[in-house]
Every structure is written in structure tokens, then in C-alpha cells.
Amino acid sequence: MYHNPVMLAECMEGLSIKPDGFYVDLTFGGSGHSREIIQHLDKNGRLIAFDQDEDTIGNTIHDARFTLVNQNFRYMKNFLRFYKAIPVDGILADLGISSHHIDDPDRGFATRFDGPLDMRMNRNQSLTAAEIVNTYIEEKLRHIFHCYGEIENARQLASTIVKSRQNPINTVDEFKSVISQLVPKKVEHKYLAQVFQALRIEVNDELGALQAVLKQVPEVLRQGGRLVVISYHSLEDRLVKNFIRSGNIEGEIQKDFFGNKLVPLEPVNRKAIIPAQEELERNPRSRSAKLRIATMC
């Protein structure tokens, strides 16, 4: 395992696992959540896990009840149909990047290591962070940094990058050097984290994939089934919160002719659950995690 599963006990409680049920782990990663789900299943239970990163194949669970799909979770419905697994009893998603990604310099996710400016979850895709930095027009860069990183000087940041393209920007250190004059000294780590988050979201179309899979939940989750999602920044959490509340990404509640709310899910926890102090001390990277749980109506 290369990732400490965040809020493991809370996730298992949220899934309310039935021993003979069918469950989906949308973010297999280091296998921590999946291995715990398997422990709660009897011989008739099943678990399908998704992960687009080929590195996760090495963490596969050798159990007849388990199937690993090496694909983006946005294709959940298609693969569940292929495996004749609809409807399912529970869906779990831990949306954060794994410690494996952060700690591997060759993947380009971390600000503290030099390495290729990559950030691809799926290394078979062509788009990298370097390509974005070297080819996107200024306005598109500004949009990414403003919307995905919530960076106040996004316009100046985009302009500086475009003006620095005399030589290709291919590594983390080269990129940091280009933008160094814009980084606030007192909050350097936070600022760089926001910049890298924005690039990572664009590279992997993370918000698009999340929207796509959320829309599939009512089509695959059985009545009484559970949706359990851990998010790590406000953009993800807002999408999840809106969908649980209203059944759509915009958060707009639809009503029928008689004024009854047309919502497919009911929240189990009104407020997001956050890690306990003990877990924060054991795993500081869980500090921004928010857990939301819903039941299919």
C-alpha cells in the first residue's frame, strides 16, 4: 500500500456494507479502502475498483470477488454494465491524489522535487502540464489558474508564463523559476500548491470526470444504496454537495407539478465529516479531507 486510506472507519460505516452486496471503489490507488471493503464481504459479495494509473495494477487484490478496471472512473456505468453489476449497493470515491504520486519526482505532482512537469494520472494520455504551460494562450491559462487554483494574481501569472517562452519550460524547477517573482514569500507553499493544483486539474480533467461519474450514480445505485465521497478542495466538495442536495451539478432543486422535490439522493450527514485529531496527527495529508455520505432514495 502506498497511500494511507483516509477516514477508513468512517467510510466503512458510511457504506453500511452488506456481506453479499456489490460495491464500487472509484479510486483504487494503494488499495487501502478496497481491502477493507473486501474484509466485510462474504463469498457472495463483489467489489469492482477503478484507477487509470497503471502503477496501481501492482496493488491488485488477488481475490475472486475483486475486479480492477484500469480506466478513468468516468466510464463507471459502461464497465458495470459489461460486468452485469447494475445496480450496486455502494460507491466510494477518495478523490485525492495518492502519497505515491506526491512522493515520486518523476510524476511531477510535487512542488518540492525537480522532475518532468508531467502531472498525468494516466501516462498513456498525451496532455502534460508542460504542454499546457508552453502552448496554452494567455487567456486560457488565466482561466485555469483563476477557476481551478483560485489564484488572485492569475492574470499576471498567465502573462508572465507566456512572456517566458523563449525557451521551453519542461521541468518543475524551470517552471518555479519562471514564476518565482510572483510567489508571495509568506505563503509560498500554499501559493505553489494552488498553482500545481490548477495544472493538475486541467491535465486530468478532474472536475469533468467527477461531474460525469456523479451523473451516473442514480442510474447504477440501488434504492437504499450508499454514495461515499472524500474531497480535498472546495471545487470538488461543491460539486459533490450540490449533487447530493439536488441531483444535479448546479445545485438547483427540481420539483414536479405538485411541488414535490425531485431529488434522487438523501444526505446522511448534513455537514461534511472531517478527520479526527488522531488521524491528523498520524496522516497530516488528510487535513483538507471532507467526507459526504448519501443514500439513494
188-218: per-residue pLDDT in tens?
999 999 999 999 999 999 999 999 999 999 9
- Is residue 138 assigned to a domain? yes
| Position 99 pLDDT exceeds 80 | no
Give exposure, 196-234, as e/b (b: 16+ Cβ within 10 Å). Answer: bbbbbbbbbbbbebbebbbebbeebbeeebbbbbbbbbe
Portion of the chain with pLDDT greater than 70, in percent: 99
Average pLDDT value for the chain: 94
Strands laid side by side in the 22-25 sheet = 66-69, 46-50, 22-25, 88-94, 221-231, 290-296, 265-267
Q: Which of 204, 219, 250 is the last residue before a domain boundary?
A: 204
Q: Could you read off the pLDDT of 227-240 as tens digits, one per residue?
A: 999 999 999 999 99
Q: 113 falls in which pLDDT band (50, 70, 90)? A: confident
- Checking if the pLDDT of 103 tops 90, the result is no
Residue 292 in contact with residue 272, Cβ under 8 Å?
yes
105, part of any domain: no
Residue after which a domain boundary falls, among 189, 204, 219: 204
- Residue 254, pLDDT score: 87
Last residue of a domain, one of 204, 224, 240: 204
Q: Are residues 24 and 52 in the same domain?
A: yes
pLDDT number for residue 2: 56
- Whether residue 141 sits in one domain with residue 265: no
Q: Could you tell me if residue 31 is inside a domain?
A: yes
Average pLDDT over residues 104-127: 90
Residues 137 and 78 in one domain: no
**Does some domain include residue 266?**
yes
pLDDT score of 1 more than 50: no
Return the pLDDT at 46: 98
Instruction: Answer whether residue 1 is part of any domain.
Output: no
Please check whether residues 244 and 170 belong to one and the same domain.
no
Residue 104, domain member (yes or no): no
At residue 223, does pLDDT exceed 60? yes
Write out the three cell numbers for 278: 488522531
60 and 91 co-located in one domain: yes
The predicted structure's pLDDT at residue 110: 87
Predicted local distance difference test score (pLDDT) of residue 250:
87
| 153 and 122 in a common domain | yes
Mean pLDDT of 145-167: 96
CATH number at residue 63: 3.40.50.150
In a domain, 3, yes or no: no
Instruction: Give me the domain span that covers residue 264.
Output: 8-99+206-296
Residues 197 and 211 both lie in one domain: no
Write down the pLDDT at residue 3.
Answer: 60
Q: Are 190 and 216 in a shared domain?
A: no
107 within domain boundaries: no
Question: Could you give the number of structural domains in the chain?
Answer: 2
Higher pLDDT, 277 or 96: 277
User: What pLDDT is recorded for position 105?
Assistant: 83
Range with the poorest average pLDDT among 25-34, 57-66, 248-257: 248-257
